[in-house]
Chain A
Amino acid sequence: MTRGLLTRMPGVAIALVLLIAVFSLANPNFATLSNLQNILIQSTILLLLALPMTLIIMTEGLDLSMGAVLTLASIALAITAIATGSIALAVAAALAVGLGFGLLNGVLVAALDIPPFIATLGTLGIAQGLSLVATDGQSVVGIPRGLQQVYGGAFAGVPIPIIIGVLAFAAFFVLLYRTRFGSYIFALGGNREALKLAGVPDRTVLIATYAVGGAMAGFAALLMTARMNSAHPTAGIGLEFDAIAAVAVGGTSFERGNGWLTGTLLGVLVVGVLRNGLNLMAVPSSAQVAGIGALVIAALLIDGLRSRP
Chain B
Amino acid sequence: MSTVAQTSPARRGLSRETVQFAWRVAAALAVCVALSLLSDAFLTTNNLLNVLRQTSLLFLMASGLTLVILTAGLDLSVGANIGLSACLAALVIKSSGSPWLGVATGVGCGAMIGLANGFLVTALRVPAFIATYGMMWLILGATYFYMGGETVHGFPPSFRQFGSGYFLGIPIPIYMMLLFLLLGTLFAQRTVWGQQIYAIGANPVAARLSGIPVERRLVLVYVVSGAMAGLASLILLARVNSAEADIGEHFTLPAIAAVVIGGTSLFGGSGTIIGTLIGALILTLVVNGMNLLQINASWQPLVTGVIILFAVWFDIRARKSGN
B292-305 vs A, Cβ < 8 Å mask (1 yes, 0 no): 00001011111111
B273-313 vs A, Cβ < 8 Å mask (1 yes, 0 no): 00000000000000000000000101111111110110011
Stretch at the interface among B123-131, B204-212, B222-230: B123-131
A297–B266 contact, CB under 8 A? no
Which A257-288 residues sit within 8 Å CB-CB of chain B?
284, 286-288
Of B74, B135, B256, B304, the contact of A293 (CB 8 Å cutoff): B135
**Is B133 part of the binding interface, using a Cβ–Cβ cutoff of 8 Å?**
yes
Q: Given A122-B309, A133-B296, A300-B120, is A291 in contact with B131 using a C-beta cutoff of 8 Å?
A: no
A110-122 vs B, Cβ < 8 Å mask (1 yes, 0 no): 0011110111011
User: What is the CA–CA distance of A301 and B131 in the complex, to the nearest angstrom?
Assistant: 10
SS class of chain A's interface: helix, strand, loop or mixed? helix
Q: Given A112-B313, A254-B130, A289-B137, is A125 in contact with B296 using a C-beta cutoff of 8 Å?
A: no
B124–A301 contact, CB under 8 A? yes
Chain A residues near B143: list those with CB within 8 A: 286
User: What is the CA–CA distance of A103 and B312 in the complex, to the nearest angstrom?
Assistant: 18
B137–A292 contact, CB under 8 A? yes
Q: Given A113-B316, A132-B298, A304-B124, is A124 in contact with B305 using a C-beta cutoff of 8 Å?
A: yes
Of B120, B303, B309, the contact of A119 (CB 8 Å cutoff): B309
B51-86 vs A, Cβ < 8 Å mask (1 yes, 0 no): 000000000000000000000001010000000000
Chain B residues near A244: list those with CB within 8 A: 130, 133
Which A122-164 residues sit within 8 Å CB-CB of chain B?
122-126, 128-130, 132-133, 136-137
**Is A170 part of the binding interface, using a Cβ–Cβ cutoff of 8 Å?**
no
User: What is the CA–CA distance of A301 and B130 in the complex, to the nearest angstrom?
Assistant: 12
Q: Number of contact residues on A: which range applies?
A: 35 or more
In the complex, what's the smallest C-beta–C-beta distance from A102 to chain B, in angstroms?
16
Residue of B nearest to A241 (CB): B137
B144–A286 contact, CB under 8 A? yes
Q: Given A133-B296, A241-B137, is A300 in contact with B305 using a C-beta cutoff of 8 Å?
A: no
In the complex, what's the smallest C-beta–C-beta distance from A256 to chain B, in angstroms?
11
**Is B253 part of the binding interface, using a Cβ–Cβ cutoff of 8 Å?**
yes
B104-125 vs A, Cβ < 8 Å mask (1 yes, 0 no): 0000000000000000100011
A62–B145 contact, CB under 8 A? no
Chain B residues near A17: list those with CB within 8 A: none
B129–A294 contact, CB under 8 A? no
17 A–B pairs (Cβ distance < 8 Å), ordered by A:
A62-B129, A115-B266, A117-B129, A121-B256, A122-B305, A122-B312, A126-B306, A128-B302, A129-B298, A132-B301, A133-B302, A286-B140, A286-B142, A289-B137, A297-B138, A300-B131, A304-B124
Residues of A within 8 A of B (CB): 62, 64, 108, 112-115, 117-119, 121-126, 128-130, 132-133, 136-137, 238, 241, 244, 248, 254-255, 284, 286-294, 296-297, 300-301, 303-305, 307
Task: Please give 6 more A-B residue pairs, beta carbons under 8 A apart, in addition to A125-B308, A126-B302, A290-B140.
Answer: A125-B302, A129-B298, A254-B127, A284-B145, A286-B143, A304-B124
